[in-house]
Structure 1
Amino acid sequence: MSTPKTIKIGLCGFGTVGQGVWQHLERARTDLEARLGVKLELARAAVRDLKRARDVAIPADKITGDALSIANDPSLAIVCELIGGTTLAREVTLAALKRGAIVVSANKALLCDHGAELFETARKHGGQLLFEASVAGGIPIIKALREGLVANRFTQIYGILNGTCNYILTRMVQEGAPYATILADAKRLGYAEADESLDVDGWDTAHKASVLAFLAHGVWIKTDKMIVEGIAKITQADLKHAAALGYGIKLLAVITRDFAANQLFVRVHPTLIPEERVLASVNGVFNGVSVTGDVVGTTTYIGRGAGRDATASAVISDIVDAAAILATGKAVPSIPGSSSYASSQPPSLAPLEKITGRYYVRTLVKDEPGVLAQIATVMANHKVSIASVTQPEVAEEGTASLILTTHLSNEHAIRETLADLARLPSVVEAPLLLRIGDFAE
């Protein structure tokens, strides 16, 4: 009997996720080798600080401070890029792809900023890039889009892609505490970074939305071409009023495509989502993604979206796929946008006038006669029809808080409306805009 082939694996980055990958892959290695018919060897790991104590101990001769030495090592057929950021991570990924290695990455920011360059490099040099862990942690959403739902065209994808924001909004609802208090707890518990802006301002979700848009539609949408808004301005009044209307509030990524017009739009923002929708009940640090295809209809995926074990699970899934590719010579399915994929004309970005929906507007105004008439006039000037008006609470003396919902309008009209409202002398602070997610399923 011949000796099974040995596939050597190198890890660039040995923080929380890297240690989880090493630990769980070692634990499951015997079973995985039996399934794959090959030997898996965790050969080397690159770290930032050689002296730092770690939870997972590995032999000293397997640790290096030079990530590029792993990327350039011809004996390592699989390189896991778990560094984060877009500088050294890009150098490592390009170096490994240029020598024809398979790179496994959990880096959504890298893919969003440099995905086109990375996939072209892989194509040119015979490498491959696998990235299941870059979106929604332990939820196999990338495999679903690339493999399980390959027969579909996707008219709509929307989801909760950031566990930190979902944790904050969930606790605000359950405990009635303000945003700032819950955010401080999230930092203390390690759910939010010291600089929370990447999460709470929507940028982490936007990076992930870019990856999903590429998988579903074959084009890279940069974050500066999206609507990106965060959760910092959400108040208890918003949550309570949304609940009274039959909605929860979630930070959603929304990817929509009009195939008739061949137009695509990607946006990230807090959204009022009907309570009967499955994702309205996805709470805490969990993520959820709803995918609507023209063949299968709507499918929903829920699971842990972040953390050591969930992300490590997705990375190991890609490592196993990479080992299977190396053992059998069979490549992963082509994806839209890659050079080997014979796609139709790529979609263009839809103009704001084509992005329609209903809206929730909260504003603080002077408590004086005629203010509501002024607001109604501004909205009418932009053909934005008011559906309801509520004054939910007593504001500061001399002011009133107003919450309005609209009938169907569009992003261009509502932006112009809010700009004009903010200029009214009777409006005390800039209005808050939330979208109402009446998603068709």
Structure 2
Amino acid sequence: MSNQDTDLPASPNAAINIGLCGFGTVGQGVWKHLKRDRAELAARLGVPLRIAAISVRDPQRPRAIKLPAKLLRADPLEVATDPAIPIVCELMGGTALARRVTLAALKAGKIVVSANKALICEHGAEIFATARKHGGHFFFEASVAGGVPIIKALREGLIANRFPQIYGILNGTCNYILTQMEERDAPYAEILAEAKALGYAEADEALDVQGWDAAHKAAVLAWLAHGLWVPPSRMIVEGIERVTPADFKNAAQLGYSIKLLAIITRDFSTEELSVKVHPALLPDSDVIASVNGVYNAISVTGDIVGTTLYIGKGAGQDATASAVISDIADAAALLRSGRCARLPSELAPLPSAAAAPSTVKLAPLERIEGRYYLRLTVRDEPGVLARIASVMARHAVSISSVLQTPSEFPDMASLVLTTHQANERAMRDTLRQLARLSIVSGAPLLLRICEFKT
């Protein structure tokens, strides 16, 4: 078989070998773009890149992309431990097998490139420790925000900064659904079905719409910026399933849009860190409020640089493949010259976070403060607002504004309250008590109002 048939560089002995573990959407994108741009990449890097092996579940299965049979492997561990392959791309998804493959490659002193935010969130500490111990390297630009180079920005361009505030849209599926609900005045279930048909949402949408995908990405950013691994179980994580078209109308009347946000804040005076993922009312004046569709957007506030903003496609084959190939290029530079543009990710989080495990602690609920939007379905009768206000006052929650609109249910009304500054503990206690009132029907909906300082 000729080099042209295998689509490999003409000088394979000079090439850097790459192994792809997984050949789904992202793996196919990496193959496509490395093939298309191989000459230009070789010129930029000073060395050609060669895909030497690809692990797939079934090497015999017909594929839309024709692959040379000699490249295919059934066992990803064979690729991970092949001494002729110094760069291993873990693109399988999941965590169990992906962890085994990643650790095996790192123990062999290899460079691993991964787009797997769940793997990093659950096993990041073990992965980085293994890389340190065995001289491997772990690059993960594609794990957060797809084609938006947020990890590279934090680790390189903003390395001199400490980060009191990072927030933004980290899940394109949710942003697409919320955008369509707002623009078309359409219910959640209808837009979700359309998103699945278009390929923007998975058949099992729970990871996206319940906030867990964004929480995994937030965990990665929190570790990078602050050196503390925060599992999603210790974050505030809420999804978008209960947001209705009426909430968008109410928000617009108040001057807000609704976005699913990941929010990482650190008070350097108390060394308290907060990591949250939830739908939020964002002022129309905030640039991120106008970021729609499948796009991601992240605002990063540094103590030296001020606020910087990053916007781009957060998912999809091309965007994620772009980030993976960026890591491959850094890996190639490291292999060729012993150094690369970024700091090796396995050494430590950012300098500002180096002492974090011993000094930074998660903020308790009573220290997480903000304003809130509360929607209740209540009986349409005198004295209802007074009873609700009484419950809120008991927990030191002060009402800022009130909107009342007709409910779809007979003899009921939709009551929307916004609050002055309160805290998460007080709001949880308030919701619990309000839900017990006979005048309240169904579970109240609580959304945070986020007005960020820039």
Q: TM-score range by the shorter chain?
A: over 0.9
Find 2:141's aligned residue among 114, 132, 136: 132
- State the shift of 1:339 in Å: 8.4
Question: Contact 1:162–1:204 at 8 Å: present in 2 too?
Answer: yes
1:302 alignment partner in structure 2:
311
TM-score by length of 1: 0.97
Question: Contact 2:166–2:298 at 8 Å: present in 1 too?
Answer: yes
Post-superposition CA distance 1:4-63 (Å, at most 9, x none): 842100000001100100110111111111121122111010011223333322211101
1:420 alignment partner in structure 2:
433
- Structure 2 alignment gaps of length 5 or more: 1-10
Question: Contact 1:159–1:254 at 8 Å: present in 2 too?
Answer: yes
Residues 1:225 and 2:234 aligned together: yes
Distance 2:349 2:259 in 1: 36
Post-superposition CA distance 1:64-115 (Å, at most 9, x none): 1111100111110000000000011000000000000000000000000000
1:109 alignment partner in structure 2:
118
Distance 1:280 1:83 in 2: 33
Distance 2:437 2:332 in 1: 63
* Sequence identity percentage: 65
Find 1:350's aligned residue among 356, 363, 370: 363
Question: Contact 2:131–2:346 at 8 Å: present in 1 too?
Answer: no
- State the shift of 1:393 in Å: 2.8
Residues 1:285 and 2:284 aligned together: no
- State the shift of 1:177 in Å: 1.0
Question: Contact 1:166–1:285 at 8 Å: present in 2 too?
Answer: yes
Residues 1:338 and 2:345 aligned together: no
What SS does the corresponding residue of 1:391 show, helix, strand or coil?
Answer: strand
What SS does the corresponding residue of 1:154 show, helix, strand or coil?
Answer: coil
Alignment of 1:173-192 (within 5 A): 173-192=182-201
Distance 1:132 1:161 in 2: 14
What SS does the corresponding residue of 2:79 show, helix, strand or coil?
Answer: helix
2:54 alignment partner in structure 1:
45
- Structure 1 alignment gaps of length 5 or more: none
Instruction: Give the AA of the match of 1:148.
Output: G
Distance 2:264 2:96 in 1: 28
What SS does the corresponding residue of 1:433 show, helix, strand or coil?
Answer: strand
Find 2:246's aligned residue among 237, 241, 244: 237
1:253 alignment partner in structure 2:
262
Post-superposition CA distance 1:395-420 (Å, at most 9, x none): 31121110000001111111111111
Find 1:206's aligned residue among 194, 210, 215: 215
Distance 2:346 2:67 in 1: 39
Question: Contact 2:274–2:362 at 8 Å: present in 1 too?
Answer: yes
Instruction: Give the AA of the match of 2:348.
Output: S
Distance 1:340 1:180 in 2: 41
Post-superposition CA distance 1:163-197 (Å, at most 9, x none): 11000011111111111000000011111111110
Question: Contact 2:12–2:50 at 8 Å: present in 1 too?
Answer: no
Distance 2:14 2:42 in 1: 10
TM-score by length of 2: 0.94
What SS does the corresponding residue of 1:104 show, helix, strand or coil?
Answer: strand
The size of the alignment, in residue pairs, is 440
Instruction: Give the AA of the match of 2:262.
Output: A
Question: Contact 2:226–2:354 at 8 Å: present in 1 too?
Answer: no
Distance 1:232 1:318 in 2: 35
Distance 1:324 1:222 in 2: 33
Return 91-100 or 388-397, whichever deviates more. 388-397
2:372 alignment partner in structure 1:
359
Distance 1:339 1:274 in 2: 32
Question: Contact 1:273–1:436 at 8 Å: present in 2 too?
Answer: yes
Alignment of 1:252-271 (within 5 A): 252-271=261-280
Distance 1:164 1:145 in 2: 24
1:95 alignment partner in structure 2:
104
Distance 1:337 1:381 in 2: 50
1:32 alignment partner in structure 2:
41
Change (3 A) 1:189 1:6: same
- State the shift of 1:3 in Å: 10
Post-superposition CA distance 1:248-276 (Å, at most 9, x none): 00000000000111110100000000111
1:215 alignment partner in structure 2:
224
Distance 1:336 1:10 in 2: 20
What SS does the corresponding residue of 2:192 show, helix, strand or coil?
Answer: helix
Distance 2:435 2:118 in 1: 34
Question: Contact 1:5–1:38 at 8 Å: present in 2 too?
Answer: yes
Instruction: Give the AA of the match of 2:429.
Output: E
Question: Contact 1:214–1:336 at 8 Å: present in 2 too?
Answer: no
Change (3 A) 1:3 1:87: closer
Distance 1:244 1:370 in 2: 25
